[in-house]
Chain A
Amino acid sequence: MSTTPITADQPQIGTARVKRGMAEQLKGGVIMDVVNAEQAKIAEDAGAVAVMALERVPADIRKDGGVARMSDPNMIEEIIAAVSIPVMAKSRIGHFVEAQVLQSLGVDYIDESEVLTPADEVNHSDKWAFTTPFVCGATNLGEALRRIAEGAAMIRSKGEAGTGNVVEAVRHLRQIKNEIAKLRGFDNNELYAAAKELRAPYELVKEVAELGKLPVVLFSAGGVATPADAALMRQLGAEGVFVGSGIFKSGDPAKRAAAIVKATTFFDDPKIIADASRNLGEAMVGINCDTLPETERYANRGW
């Protein structure tokens, strides 16, 4: 684990507190997938707290097939230059060299993402080795804690990216929240067995049982397409939302992006969500997750 100074006069970069603290600043916000500088500006204008730079939005990755990789550094640099808000970018699972490249480009967060084609089917990247913080996806508590053990400073429930269908996002967030609630009820004796069952380090399991939440910020991702979807994820306990294809695959991205930002802040106010939902034009065409073959389910990637 990275150490935190107590009386240091020397400034320390890349501490766990600085990495996790960055995610704390994003809470209540919307992080939007963008594929170029123009989209990044639209996202910033709409009130996004950060943008995720990637080559193709997940819906197009699904459509095009093939191997999905880290984006072109030029494109990432153009996006960094275009906006003043934080810029995130994706590396493949286990592709620590892509992560090294992203760090060298100065991105503010690295998403070790199942949306890209995994580079390692056993190991995720050692995220403690980086100054740049990482966000990782999870479908359940054990997976979230394994990522945190590897150094992830933020977790997002995976959902099923590029479908415009919120059902998997709901499933994964509920799963994580339910498992946390269950831990709360365990006594100390039971936490060891719980750790074994979760396949996660005992110390982290104990910490979650005490806090009643993850030790890092928890966002939701994968399938949010409407303001009501975003508010739903917030009411279910997500501290913020990632929106991928849902914005720039819709009829009026600028308007929809601003509407999702409003609904994310006022997630518990149906009148504001209603107003935000008016006249948004075409939502992205969704995919029924039941009809997705197992091999095309991104959420199954990562372990």
Chain B
Amino acid sequence: MSSSNPVIGVLALQGDVREHLVALAAADAIARPVRRAEELAEVDALVIPGGESTTMSKLALLFGVMDPLRERVAAGMPVYGTCAGMIMLADKILDGRDDQETVGGIDMTVRRNAFGRQNESFESGIDFAGLAGEPVQGVFIRAPWVEAVGAGVEVLAELPAADGPESRIVAVRQGNLLATSFHPELTGDHRVHEYFVRMVESA
């Protein structure tokens, strides 16, 4: 990677694209929307935003982005997924649609809408491994959680479960892939995006 600012795409098929573009720019990346395979070929890294994962997955297949994306992931391109983006990066999903495909790449099982419907959506402070300072404010919207991870996956953040002693995994990293259940792009705190930009720069 050269020393100039990395070019990071935001998958713009559907979802909160604008907020990620703003956060990436604030973290000193050159950010641009990506909807087509040609546009994907021109970026150093990608963010898969929050949104409706079933819609995103369908559009990625329809418009020929899914396979190129899988190839880039296999070739080591850094990708950060939030919420729906986390689902897209999961090798296995639960409570998805039967025909729902993911990009995959992170050896984890993610349960869709695990924290409940919108009335159960919440925000909460989170200790995020590797980020100094105040806890990160996690905004969870019909959010997924990580139900199981493989040996190569580093857990970066957990939330205590509301209904039991065990906690829920809400942020993970495996190699160049990063995923969070929550939406740092909605808070104005750009530390998680800065963390990702550093991942991209050292990839």
- Where the two chains meet, the residues of A that have a C-beta atom closer than 8 Å to any C-beta of B are 4-15, 17-18, 21-22, 24-29, 44, 47-50, 84-86, 103, 106-109, 131-133, 261-262, 265-266
Assess the B142–A47 pair: CB atoms within 8 A. no
Assess the B52–A109 pair: CB atoms within 8 A. no
Q: In the complex, A11→B160 CA distance in Å?
A: 10
Q: Report if B167 contacts A (CB, 8 A).
A: no
Q: In the complex, A10→B124 CA distance in Å?
A: 6
Assess the B14–A27 pair: CB atoms within 8 A. yes
Residues of chain A with a CB closer than 8 A to B83's CB? 25
Q: Is the interface of A mostly helix, strand, loop or mixed?
A: loop
CB distance from A272 to the nearest CB of B (A): 8
Say which residue of B35, B112, B122, B134 sits within 8 Å of A13 (CB atoms). B122
Assess the B50–A25 pair: CB atoms within 8 A. yes
Assess the A8–B124 pair: CB atoms within 8 A. yes
Assess the A25–B119 pair: CB atoms within 8 A. no
Q: List 13 A-B contacts (CB under 8 A).
A: A9-B125, A13-B119, A13-B122, A15-B123, A21-B183, A24-B186, A25-B84, A25-B142, A27-B16, A29-B52, A261-B55, A261-B58, A265-B35
**How many A-B Cβ pairs are below 8 Å?**
131
Say which residue of A11, A44, A261 sits within 8 Å of B122 (CB atoms). A11
Residues of chain B with a CB closer than 8 A to A265's CB? 13-14, 35, 59
Closest 4 CB pairs of A and B: A108-B118, A24-B16, A11-B122, A11-B124
Residues of chain A with a CB closer than 8 A to B91's CB? none
Residues of chain A with a CB closer than 8 A to B175's CB? none
Say which residue of A4, A18, A49, A106 sits within 8 Å of B52 (CB atoms). A49
Assess the A7–B84 pair: CB atoms within 8 A. no
Q: In the complex, A86→B15 CA distance in Å?
A: 14
A7-B134, A8-B124, A84-B112 as given contacts; A25 in contact with B52, CB under 8 Å:
yes
Which bracket fits the contact residues of B? Answer: 35 or more
Q: In the complex, A26→B16 CA distance in Å?
A: 7
Q: In the complex, A21→B51 CA distance in Å?
A: 10
Closest to A133 in B: B118
Assess the A47–B58 pair: CB atoms within 8 A. yes
Q: In the complex, A10→B123 CA distance in Å?
A: 8
CB distance from A252 to the nearest CB of B (A): 18
Assess the B52–A5 pair: CB atoms within 8 A. no
Closest to A84 in B: B97
CB distance from A60 to the nearest CB of B (A): 27
Per-position contact with A for B121-150: 1 when CB-CB < 8 Å, else 0?
111110000000011010111100000000
Assess the A108–B59 pair: CB atoms within 8 A. no
Q: Report if B113 contacts A (CB, 8 A).
A: yes
CB distance from A48 to the nearest CB of B (A): 7
Assess the B51–A29 pair: CB atoms within 8 A. yes
Closest to A13 in B: B122
Q: Which residues in chain B, 3-20, are within 8 Å of chain A measured between CB atoms?
A: 12-19
CB distance from A281 to the nearest CB of B (A): 20
- Count chain B CB atoms within 10 A of each CB in A7, A10, A13 and give the residue with the most: A13
Say which residue of B51, B123, B183 sits within 8 Å of A5 (CB atoms). B123
Q: In the complex, A29→B17 CA distance in Å?
A: 12
Assess the A22–B121 pair: CB atoms within 8 A. yes
Q: In the complex, A171→B5 CA distance in Å?
A: 42
Say which residue of B12, B62, B113, B125 sits within 8 Å of A8 (CB atoms). B125
Closest to A7 in B: B125
Assess the B142–A86 pair: CB atoms within 8 A. yes
CB distance from B50 to the nearest CB of A (A): 5
Q: Report if B174 contacts A (CB, 8 A).
A: no
Say which residue of B18, B50, B118, B183 sits within 8 Å of A86 (CB atoms). B118
Assess the A85–B137 pair: CB atoms within 8 A. no
Q: In the complex, A7→B118 CA distance in Å?
A: 22
A24-B19, A84-B112 as given contacts; A266 in contact with B35, CB under 8 Å:
yes
Residues of chain A with a CB closer than 8 A to B58's CB? 47, 261
Assess the B141–A49 pair: CB atoms within 8 A. no
Closest to A88 in B: B118
Assess the B52–A26 pair: CB atoms within 8 A. yes
Say which residue of B112, B119, B135 sits within 8 Å of A131 (CB atoms). B119
Assess the A28–B122 pair: CB atoms within 8 A. no
Q: In the complex, A4→B139 CA distance in Å?
A: 11
Q: Report if B68 contacts A (CB, 8 A).
A: no
